[in-house]
Structure 1
Amino acid sequence: MTTAYAYVATSASSGLGRTTIERREPEHDDVEIAIEFCGLCHSDVHATRSEWGSTRYPLVPGHEIVGTVTRVGDSVTAFAVGDRVGVGCMVDSCRECESCAEGLEQYCEKGMTGTYGTPDRRHDGEITQGGYSTSIVVNEGYVLRIPEGLDPAAAAPLLCAGITTFSPLNHFGVEKGEAVGVVGLGGLGHMAVKIAKAMGAEVTVFTTSAGKVDAARELGADRVVISRDADAMKAAADSLDVIIDTVAAPHDLNALIRTLRLDGALFQLGLPADPMPAVDPGLLIRKRRTYAGSLIGGIEETQEMLDFCAEHSVVSDIEIVTADQLNVAYDRMVAGDVKYRFVLDASSLKEDA
């Protein structure tokens, strides 16, 4: 066992505080990683504060991990000491079901093993602890290669926000000249704009805030629609092939669905804690539209996303924070006061200790 510095929550109201945790010794197929950066995802806030329920404490959050390989098991061939690598939202799956066989580990029929907060199926059921720490040990099959040329700090959010938005666009087969709508302009939304533009799409951003019009255009949006403006929404009818909805608060989807063309699809990525207003099935039926969900991506697709982002110079817009700023950063995330993702400098965990 090796000791790592970390920041941990001990209850829903405790906030995050300094601690040390034990990491296992690398087994024959494991990779040990010295963590350099870890993105702060809004789901970290939900989990830490038990807003989705069933959080197991103590909890070290963090599933957007970038670091350097420090040790490898004797059967590992894909990675070597010194490689820059990443770990996203999962660190294992059953490896046997149909979903896993198809490279869709995120839909593992027995449940994927999350990077934090879930029982480790291969190590005595111990609860996994995440990337707000100085090191982690992960099976080689769930480690990603970070391409050269990607800034490691700005690449960290790609491992959740990047793949979460890339996967539905990729699944839909978005190509040059197609029309993509993005609902919301936060951590997920700004990545959806960047990735859709890199795919060659014409991008429309829907926002409730007139103050975000310029920001959306700076990110590359071709059109910005204020979704509270009924006339603007009517003018956008039947104009889009696919919509990526990143909003995690209850909102009416019917006006958005009307902006889809024949065979268009709306992918729901935001997960509201409260019920959503009902969808009018007639809007789906009359134009063969689809209302779908999507969950991160498998390991192969996540690597594809990283390579795509390196090719097109796509990274997240970030603000780097130190360990002692984590609790403030959480409050700022809840208030929407970040453009667009916080990233923890893991070296500050040692300095703070």
Structure 2
Amino acid sequence: MLTKAYAAQSPTSALAPHTIDRREPGLHDVAIEILFCGVCHSDLHTVRGEWPGVLYPSVVGHEIVGRVTAVGSEVSKVGIGSLVGVGCIVDSCQTCAACARDLEQYCENGFIGTYNGSSLGGTVNTYGGYSTAIVVDEHFVLKIAHEEKDLAAVAPLLCAGITTWSPLRHWNVGPGKKVGVVGIGGLGHMGIKLAHALGAHVVAFTTSPSKGENALALGADEVVVSTDEEQMRSHAASFDFILNTVAASHDLDAFMSLLALDGTMTVVGVPASPHPSPSVAPFIFKRRALAGSVIGGIAETQEMLDFCAEHGITADIETIAMQDIEKAFARMVKSDVKYRFVIDMATLNAD
């Protein structure tokens, strides 16, 4: 199926109109008209060739919400007209130990990304959501229960939402837990909302005092300016869990010292250069742990979407036209967005 898209032809070229060929739906496939697609920082890293192994032309986008237009004869999960989502994964081996535990993001044979990954049928690339349609195996299609008016703001849940939900759930965040969220951006604002909805006492950490009111509005109970040593000391050894969403290299020791006995800090941002090595002593004397986490499995993503629908949770977004993606990228680099851009794909259809 010939499909309109926006693609980068090289690391130095701007995204521009492009046509891609989507496969016809197979027995277990779902064809989706894309209505909205969130803009993730990973999209920019990929099209600019800042990560290794980028395949061009590159059509990015892995925060996809749309409507089912066709299904294969063996599909039972969704039907024509269903509102659905597609996140960061469109295939995995489905046979390894990780996949058997519904942890496709840790597939031992490597999951297939929604973009820039080998696709079914032997082609050399997968193409993402900066397009008008996509065809995905039903296993990797998520059901959307939010109201249709909220669909644009649901899109970022497919990456920013699950990236923060997965560690919050894995480390049992809930009532009675004191939880810190480092960074108030695309990921951090979702971490605050979700931790609050899970019933935890939430403390937001920021280097910008001006973001304090925003963090409280998102659901934080307290805000700490992380560059203020006195404020940091007042929370020493008191956190059960800290979710660190910052993608820039920074000193982890300052946050590790805030963990209580058996506390864990999980990082979900990948910096361009490594963090300074943390000191060993804070780990030893409080049995603290430093961990990492990446997106989430399909079952976990569905759990997150259902939880968000039940609690009225969506991302805070700014909707843009497909034709304005380069302007959005430039603003995203400057953190000039609260907190996620989402592309209205009707604008691409209008081209």
TM-score by length of 2: 0.98
Gaps of 5+ in 1: none
**Matched residue type, 2:14:** G
**Matched residue type, 2:133:** S
Q: Is the 8 A contact 1:52 1:273 kept in 2?
A: no
Q: Higher mean Cα deviation, 236-245 or 188-197? A: 236-245
Separation (CA, whole Å) in 2 of partners of 1:190 and 1:28: 39
**Helix, strand or coil: the match of 1:286?**
helix
| Corresponding residue for residue 146 of structure 1 | 144
| Corresponding residue for residue 292 of structure 2 | 293
**Helix, strand or coil: the match of 1:291?**
strand
Deviations 1:223-242 (A, max 9, x none): 11111111111111112110
Task: Output aligned runs, 1:264-303, within 5 Å.
Answer: 264-303=263-302
Query: Are 1:130 and 2:128 an aligned pair?
Result: yes
Query: Are 1:254 and 2:253 an aligned pair?
Result: yes
| Percent identity (aligned) | 54
Separation (CA, whole Å) in 1 of partners of 2:342 and 2:60: 13
| Corresponding residue for residue 197 of structure 1 | 196
| Corresponding residue for residue 77 of structure 1 | 76
Deviations 1:109-137 (A, max 9, x none): 010000000111x3114300000000000
Separation (CA, whole Å) in 2 of partners of 1:285 and 1:330: 42
Gaps of 5+ in 2: none
In the TM superposition, residue 211 of structure 1 has moved relative to its aligned partner by: 1.3
**Helix, strand or coil: the match of 1:13?**
coil
| Corresponding residue for residue 95 of structure 1 | 94
Q: What is the aligned-residue RMSD (CA, Å)?
A: 0.9
| Corresponding residue for residue 56 of structure 2 | 57
Q: How many residues align?
A: 350
In the TM superposition, residue 50 of structure 1 has moved relative to its aligned partner by: 1.2
In the TM superposition, residue 179 of structure 1 has moved relative to its aligned partner by: 0.8
Q: Is the 8 A contact 1:206 1:227 kept in 2?
A: yes
Task: Output aligned runs, 1:1-353, within 5 Å.
Answer: 2-120=1-119, 122-149=120-147, 151-351=150-350, 353=351
**Matched residue type, 1:4:** T
TM-score by length of 1: 0.98
**Helix, strand or coil: the match of 2:155?**
helix
**Helix, strand or coil: the match of 2:162?**
helix
In the TM superposition, residue 148 of structure 1 has moved relative to its aligned partner by: 3.6
**Matched residue type, 1:342:** F
**Helix, strand or coil: the match of 1:187?**
coil
In the TM superposition, residue 53 of structure 1 has moved relative to its aligned partner by: 2.4
Q: Is the 8 A contact 1:31 1:139 kept in 2?
A: yes
**Matched residue type, 1:324:** Q
Q: Higher mean Cα deviation, 236-245 or 85-94? A: 236-245
Separation (CA, whole Å) in 1 of partners of 2:254 and 2:247: 17
